[in-house]
Chains A and B, each alone.
Chain A
């Protein structure tokens, strides 16, 4: 009964370091998303994917890269972390738009601090 699992849950990075956040879903969902949540700004879409091997930019893509080599995994990379990337990151997944149930399911979040 895993749903959407994010790894790691917490991380502290120094400015300029790189890291990868992993999102895994076991619901065979086509669509996957990465959001960031900041106080007073709500959730903003970073990148998303509509299927294996595809990615697209969201509202705030700068400084991030993504890959979806396998249907169940969606990776978010920070090549050179900046303090402005301090945030809570959420991964989500949902079925394709043609399906009747297009409910989005979210992971528990990754709290990232860049010092």
Chain B
């Protein structure tokens, strides 16, 4: 059974720091992995999608990497800003299924 874990559960950093959020999954047979952002009381906003054949994806200050063999993905946020404060979720779509399995998220606070 696919399980997704995100560590740490919460993170507080000063503005301007570069930071890394981690996502690990137990079954390497995945179709893709997606990172989301969720603001308090809001829905999920897609940040980056990495297909199983890709190693990384970039969007602005965000870079996500994927290492299927080790069951890991990282989300790198450069030069963090207070506006980056949110909960970040990763989800994997296992090969041969229609479902997305979510981690419990990392709650990020960037201090001004």
Contacts and interface: CB of A to CB of B under 8 A. Distances in A.
B104 A92 contact: no
B64 interface: no
Most chain A CB atoms below 10 A, which of B44, B89, B99: B44
Chain B, interface SS category: strand
Contact of B42 (A43, A58, A100, A109): A109
Interface residues of A, number: 27
Interface in A61-115: 90, 92, 97, 100-109, 111
Given A33-B100, A106-B36, 7 more contacts: A42-B89, A48-B99, A58-B99, A104-B46, A104-B93, A104-B100, A109-B42
Interface of A: 31, 33, 35, 40-45, 48, 50, 56, 58, 90, 92, 97, 100-109, 111
